Homo-oligomer: A and B are copies of this chain.
Amino acid sequence: MARIEAVYRLRSPEEDAGAMARAIAYEQTVELPENLVDDPHVVENVLGRVDGVDPDPSDAGAFLARLSYPEDASNYQLPQLLNLLYGNVSLHPQVRLVDMRLPESFLARFEGPGFGVAGLRRVTGVTDRPLVASVLKPRGAPVERLAALAGDFARGGGDIIKDDQNLFDETLEGFRRRITACARAVDDGNATSGHSCLYFPHLAGPDPSLRWQLDLVSELGLRGVLMSPMVLGLDRVRSLAGTYDLVVMAHPALAGAYVCNRDGGIDHGILLGTLFRLAGADISIFPNTSGRFAFTPRACKAIRDRSLEPLGELKPMLPCPAGGMGFDDLPRLCRDYGSDAVFLIGGSLLGHSDDLAVSTRRFVDRVGELSR
């Protein structure tokens, strides 16, 4: 049987690293002390295996433990895969999941992004440069104000305008009113620009209102939504992404708990790259190296690479650096990410000039120049 490979970085004295790796192999599969595991079938077919433990060449004092698990220990499902790779390991403060390889036979059970890079290029009509996205905010602004922003962004030739993840409505009727107004404004802006800007409402309701929201978004002919997989549940997003023919733009809310702890957690590329892609995200938003949250260049590159690398038959996902970037960051963004990316510019676009359509046009044109 094919195996799921996982590499954990252990922060432990050298003499303990081997025992720690073995403890993880037992913990994640049988959760029993070694002396109680004697059934040959279990040892052969269920137990995790330690394939090697070596010093981490890039991190003095840390060790890389290479483990593998029989792929059926995931039950070919996202919840059980999370549990297998990191469920109880999460309770070890000195263990980080830093690499993961999933076999083709596992990946074949997943649909992944419904649109992917080619699909997003098709629906936006943008073939030769990164997409430019922005955000409707703040919560509390009148619907007319949000709709005007959306319309101006579309008129300026922007590609994707999404709700802020703090934006929501108390009632489904309020949601309908707000997103209808924003969608119309974007349509009007598109009529002026001749471009196909997309509007993605934010969805965060509990069941069953989340499905009503999705039904409404589909009825209105919108092409996508913004969801936070770690807030809603990664597998819930996968299930919804597989049910509706909508672009899924994934927001990293809560994900920092996993990725931002150097000694523990899950590597940026695995969570915001591979796992979000498995959950059906077409676009994965994350904080860029500059800006107010400042992921490291290495973390950003890992997310980018994992978004675009071959992954079974799954479509590639667009990495979406964000978080306080401005006009002057565009050259570096184009250099670091190349053409297959979405650049999310929020507050700094709103503050760039008094006319959002003019600002948007300036950003889009600059991205176009830099990509030639």
Q: Report if A92-B256 is in contact (Cβ < 8 Å); known contacts: A165-B87, A168-B80.
A: yes
Contact (Cβ within 8 A) B139 A92:
no
Q: Report if A46-B93 is in contact (Cβ < 8 Å); known contacts: A253-B88, A257-B258, A292-B23.
A: no
Q: Please give, as numbers and ranges, the residues of chain B lying within 8 Å of A207 by CB-CB distance.
A: 235-236, 239
Shortest Cβ distance from residue A300 to the other chain B in the assembled complex, whole angstroms: 13
Interface residues in A26-46 by Cβ distance below 8 A to B read 27-33, 35-37, 39, 41-42, 45-46
Q: Which residue of B lies closest to A23 (CB)?
A: B292
Q: Does A86 contact B (CB under 8 A)?
A: yes
Shortest Cβ distance from residue A214 to the other chain B in the assembled complex, whole angstroms: 13
Interface residues in A67-83 by Cβ distance below 8 A to B read 72-73, 75, 77-80, 82-83
Q: Please give, as numbers and ranges, the residues of chain B lying within 8 Å of A270 by CB-CB distance.
A: none
Query: A257 touches which one: B37, B164, B261 (CB < 8 A)?
Result: B261
Q: Does A345 contact B (CB under 8 A)?
A: no
Interface residues in A174-201 by Cβ distance below 8 A to B read none
Report the contact-size class of chain A (Cβ under 8 Å from the partner). Answer: 35 or more
Shortest Cβ distance from residue A74 to the other chain B in the assembled complex, whole angstroms: 10
Q: Does A217 contact B (CB under 8 A)?
A: no
Q: Does A233 contact B (CB under 8 A)?
A: yes
Shortest Cβ distance from residue A93 to the other chain B in the assembled complex, whole angstroms: 4
Contact (Cβ within 8 A) A32 B257:
no
Contact (Cβ within 8 A) B254 A90:
yes
25 of the cross-chain contacts (CB-CB < 8 Å) are: A28-B166, A30-B137, A31-B164, A31-B346, A32-B350, A36-B347, A37-B138, A39-B138, A39-B141, A42-B140, A72-B170, A75-B170, A77-B204, A77-B205, A79-B206, A82-B253, A83-B165, A83-B254, A90-B256, A91-B323, A92-B256, A92-B293, A93-B261, A260-B264, A261-B265
User: 12 more A-B contacts (CB under 8 A) besides A27-B292, A30-B140, A77-B205?
Assistant: A29-B166, A36-B351, A42-B138, A45-B140, A75-B205, A82-B254, A83-B166, A87-B231, A90-B255, A92-B260, A92-B293, A257-B265
